[in-house]
Chain A
Amino acid sequence: MLIIENLTHVYGNGVRALDEVNLTIPRGMYGLLGPNGAGKSTLMRTLATLQAPTSGHIRFGDIDVLKTPELLRRTLGYLPQDFGVYPRVSAYDMLDHMAVLKGIAGAKERKETVESLLNQVNLWSVRKKAIAGFSGGMRQRFGIAQALIGDPRLIIVDEPTAGLDPEERNRFLNLLAEIGENVVVILSTHIVEDVSDLCPAMAIICDGRIVKEGAPTDLVTRLAGRIWRKTIDKSELDAAKTQYQVISTRLLGGRTVIHILSDQDPGDGFAAVEGGLEDVYFSTLSTTRRAA
């Protein structure tokens, strides 16, 4: 169980990246959804002991993360949003190196770890190739392999599916789903499907604040009967935006499909739709931004 209390982070230039964040994250996959620049990566890096927050507390089990980051690191698997590799180093060697750093000291144990993980993430056949030449998906799978070394109890993956093609993304999500229910996995993403596919619990972060929290199914249920859809011409969009709370627009066959949030039937050709997590996300963002 990861408990975050009143976490605030203000950067040197005055940007308030995290603003009184409170979260309780149970075992299993936990989705943290938010647009780019919402503070996701700051939160992830803070949880991963890479930066100290301005104020607040983080506890993981009986570890005080901010006071004793070295204890958390022993049980942490972290896949950063963007990571590089050393030139001229193969996947096998790099994973072996990471295993040493994570405390897998014996050569035999390391071999077991590295081979097993390479196999698990389906990189066995390219293990001797330099990671520098990997595709985005292969690189992310390598990233999750290194995060899994040493059986961590807290796994943080920051925007892992950004830039992956659908097949690679599926493969990656399957991998995450396999990791098991016994550990805390925090998946930060701006892609709604990542969360709806995988996570039994989630939160939406916007402008450094947690604006919605709960199980995706509950959140969707709560929205039932409030989402309405209409297909309009592009030229009508501005008018619609002033008249309704438009939460999303999407092109379909050259025309624009809009979703709006409304407690009553707006009429005017709108049809009720069964909302999805995407509608939850967009309505939350829209409401937050209107309030701001």
Chain B
Amino acid sequence: MFGKIAGFELRYQLKSPVFWVVAVVFFLLTFGAATIDQISIGGGGSIHRNAPFAIAQTHLILSIFYMFVTTAFVANVVVRDDETGFGPILRSTRIRKFDYLYGRFVGAFLAASISFLVVPLAIFIGSYMPWIDPERLGPNILQAYLFSYFALALPAIFLTSAIFFALATVTRSMMWTYVGVIAFLVIWIISRIALDRPEFATATALWDPLGQSAYRLITKYWTASERNALTPPLAGVLLFNRIFCLALAALFLAAAYWLFERQSAELAGNKKAKALKGSAAESDPPPVLTGPLPVPRYDGQAAWAQLVARTRLDMGQVFKSPAYFVLLALGLFNAGGALWFATEAGGYGGVIYPVTRVLLMPLMGSFGLIPMIIAIYYSGELVWRERERKTHEIIDATPVPDWAFVAPKTLAIALVLISTLLVSVFAAIISQLAHGYTHLELGKYLLWYVLPQAVDWTLLAVLAVFLQAISPHKFIGWGLMVIYLVTTITLSSLGFEHRLYNYGAVTDTPFSDMNGQGKFWIGAWWLRLYWSAFAGVLVLLAYGLWRRGTETRLWPRLRRLPHRMTGKAGATLAVALTVFVASGAFIYVNTNIWNDYRTSIDGEKWQADYEKTLLPFENTPQPKIVSMVLDVDLDPHAPRVTTKGSYVLENRTGQPLREIHARFDRDLEVRGLSIEGGRSKMTYDRFNYRIFAFDTPMAPGERRKMSFITERAQQGFPNSGAESRVVDNGTFINNLEITPILGITGRPAGRPGQAPQVRPAGRTPHGPAGRCRVAAVQYSAQGLRLGVFRHHRHHSG
């Protein structure tokens, strides 16, 4: 009996959407961490991405995140029967309490364990991704995976399952169980911070039931190569800690047995009270019938009422679904850590004020995965809902116009996304208030975060709705979205970076308190207009290809598409296409004509060619600049810097000099350049490198004058690398960016950001002493540009 109940429970859980959503979320989290440079959990520096140490850290951290998930699995076991009304039938059977309770618990726990297998799987698959620097990979060590999964993650999952199972049996409420999860996390985090001192290290290693402290203690003094190769033996402190963890879990399971009442008296009381209240309301006298029923109308008012009613119903279906709650809780937990520790972001031990600007980056990074999943997951759910609920026949036979399917669904997802973003803003504000910081800048939250993110995620949702509308099955639609995401990452790493063909891509919009969004927002919003027009086309096509009635094949729908794209739909399509083409043309002018379109691969190639071509000139003797006069004309708003300057050069080499080598910043326009007694001998336009020859060589000790006019300006907006030095408020420019430099003396002539990169930007070298204390995985709006939010703390010992 026990086995059968467990088996049934397992099969039941495997069919639930929560299981699949969770598997996908955790796969993406782990895959992102394992394959994308800016992210790392426990790795970084010389630790391999698939090093045993990185695998272990990933398992430890994600098993904590997983608490939100196990709770959904095991609490559902207890709460479900009362929600479905199936409870009385079950309770009247001869099932023993032991079988009923533990059979189901085991089934749910197994489902949770199976779902967590995506974590090692994602690391393993990730280690074969072509874009990872091979130097950052080591051999895949099976033992490390087994150890991390079975010895580190599973006991923690078992323990949290047991704790929240017990809590659910007492509270009989999903909500109160989740409150318990939050309380548990808060206590756990606070105690870890409080006990984070060397003298407690062994004690916490023994008694921290989730195993983080134990693993930390053991690996504390490991070198990078040890972390890349070793798995600690399951002995000593670690073994004791694992046994303690399991014993604690057993204790909670036993408690659940005692606390479980087949029919909770209190619960029965509640139900009765509810029933009474309900029947009172329901015994109102029925209304008196008068005349014939009102007749339908098909005017604007009816259309508006239909839009509102459909949108509200669709939104309600999202907000009331358990998966939404789990997603939001996960996102808020992740964001909570990032927000709380954002004030330490200075990195020099100082604490900064939690101003809006400081909180927004970690918020976007740590919360961004949630709107992404919502956009993709609920597009599938909503598009297919009528069919899955079998309401499509009665709904489709009503005179509701065809747009009243696709438009409200898209709108509902957009509104859900906005609400979700607002909840995250609320979390950020609570974090500010909790720090005692009360200067709330709601306008910045709105303009810098909610609005742009809402548009970006809605664009993704529209694509997902369109793909679902043409897919023969929900899972195929989701699969297409995953393929789309992977393609996006792959294409950009192959150098296809233009935002005009990366769906939903916008230019970067850095913001600061001094400069606001500067002029960066202009390009971004032009691209949002461009992609919104395209999304409009997608919505219209989804409308034209919508499955109404029982016809599900695509071909007949494609055939009637031209017929459906007439009238108002056709006019709208024409408007959308016109906006799309016109804004696209304007953007092209900005990115490719007024500015150079450069990819990062181009940039690297330019850098390499620069060095190859000009290396022969290294150490060519050059005169010294002994005096410099600069007339710098700043027009920050344009933005433009015109520099008229002159140098006095002196030959201190002790030999006669025949040539002057002047190099300029790559994007600096040289309006004029003259050197006393020199004539232009050679110009490398591509490298902005000029060689002047003297007819009369410059004698040792001789002084000559050099004059130049340069202009640094930007017209419109480029595809990437917009002017960030000369801005309305906060211009900060270096003389090397506006004046000639003489000769090649080690420092390259790119902009500071374009310096040859020994290691890719954004990666923090991470010695063995540093460690990841709170890891929040960051995802940005633009298709997985990922970064990790790391906190380093120096050992106090």
Contacts and interface: CB of A to CB of B under 8 A. Distances in A.
A78 B393 contact: yes
Contacts of A80: 393-394, 397
A173 B295 CA distance: 25
Contact of A101 (B281, B385, B398, B549): B398
Interface residue tally on A, bucketed by range = 35 or more
Contact of B302 (A49, A82, A103, A126): A103
B295 A150 contact: yes
Contact of B301 (A105, A125, A146, A150): A105
Interface stretch (B154-162, B284-292, B331-339, B686-694): B284-292
A45 interface: yes
Contacts of B320: 87-88
Nearest to A123: B286
Interface stretch (B305-313, B362-370, B727-735): B305-313
Given A83-B391, A86-B313, A51 B551 contact: yes
A103 B305 CA distance: 8
A150 B296 contact: yes
A86 B398 contact: no
B293 interface: yes
A151 B282 contact: no
A258 interface: no
A164 to B, nearest CB: 18
Given A83-B394, A105-B305, A125 B549 contact: no
Given A103-B296, A150-B295, A73 B399 contact: yes
Contact of A133 (B85, B305, B390, B551): B85
Given A45-B550, A82-B390, A149 B293 contact: yes
A118 B281 CA distance: 15
Contacts of A38: none
A9 to B, nearest CB: 11
A128 B400 contact: no
A146 B287 CA distance: 18
B667 interface: no
Nearest to A76: B397
A125 B399 contact: no
Contacts of B306: 100-101
Interface in B257-315: 278, 281-283, 286-287, 289-290, 292-299, 301-302, 304-306, 309-310, 313
B485 interface: no
A115 B287 contact: yes
A73 B398 contact: yes
B396 A70 contact: no
Interface in A87-133: 87-89, 96-98, 100-106, 109-110, 112-113, 115-120, 124-129, 133
A281 B309 CA distance: 45
Nearest to B279: A125
A102 B293 contact: no
B140 interface: no
Interface residue tally on B, bucketed by range = 35 or more
A74 interface: yes
A83 B393 CA distance: 7
Interface in B377-391: 385, 389-391
A110 B306 CA distance: 12
A102 B400 contact: yes
B15 interface: no
A112 B398 contact: no
Interface string B536-553: 000000000000111101
A73 B399 CA distance: 5
Nearest to A147: B394
Nearest to B304: A105
B721 to A, nearest CB: 50
A180 to B, nearest CB: 11
B583 interface: no
A104 B287 contact: no
A204 B106 CA distance: 55
Contacts of A12: 553
B294 A126 contact: no
A127 B290 CA distance: 20
B317 interface: yes
A160 interface: no
A115 B401 CA distance: 25
B401 A74 contact: no
Contacts of B298: 74, 103
Contacts of B293: 112-113, 116-117, 148-151
A105 B302 contact: yes
A52 interface: yes
Contacts of A128: 278, 281-282
Interface centre among A49, A96, A103 (most CB of B within 10 A): A103
Interface string B662-686: 0000000000000000000000000
A149 B400 CA distance: 13
B47 to A, nearest CB: 47
A198 B317 CA distance: 40
B549 A49 contact: yes
B404 interface: yes
Contacts of B316: 88
Contacts of B395: 98, 101
B308 to A, nearest CB: 8
Contact of B397 (A50, A52, A104, A109): A50
A124 B286 contact: yes
B384 to A, nearest CB: 13
Given A116-B289, A126-B282, A104 B294 contact: yes
Contacts of A112: 290, 293-294
A12 B550 CA distance: 13
B294 A70 contact: no
Contact of A98 (B317, B390, B398): B398
A120 B287 CA distance: 10
A82 B550 CA distance: 13
A104 B394 contact: no
A76 B385 CA distance: 23
Nearest to B309: A100
B399 A48 contact: no
A102 B286 contact: no
Contacts of B295: 150-151
Interface centre among A86, A106, A151 (most CB of B within 10 A): A86
B274 to A, nearest CB: 12
Contacts of A116: 287, 289, 293
A84 B292 contact: no
Contacts of A34: none
Nearest to A84: B390
A143 interface: yes
Contacts of A105: 296-297, 299, 301-302, 304-305
Given A74-B298, A150-B293, A48 B397 contact: yes
19 contacts: A45-B550, A50-B397, A79-B394, A84-B390, A85-B391, A87-B320, A89-B313, A101-B404, A105-B299, A105-B304, A109-B294, A112-B290, A113-B293, A125-B282, A125-B283, A127-B282, A149-B293, A150-B293, A151-B293
Closest 5 pairs (CB-CB, A-B): A103-B296, A84-B390, A50-B549, A109-B294, A105-B302
Interface of A: 12, 45, 48-52, 70, 73-74, 76, 78-80, 82-89, 96-98, 100-106, 109-110, 112-113, 115-120, 124-129, 133, 143, 146-151
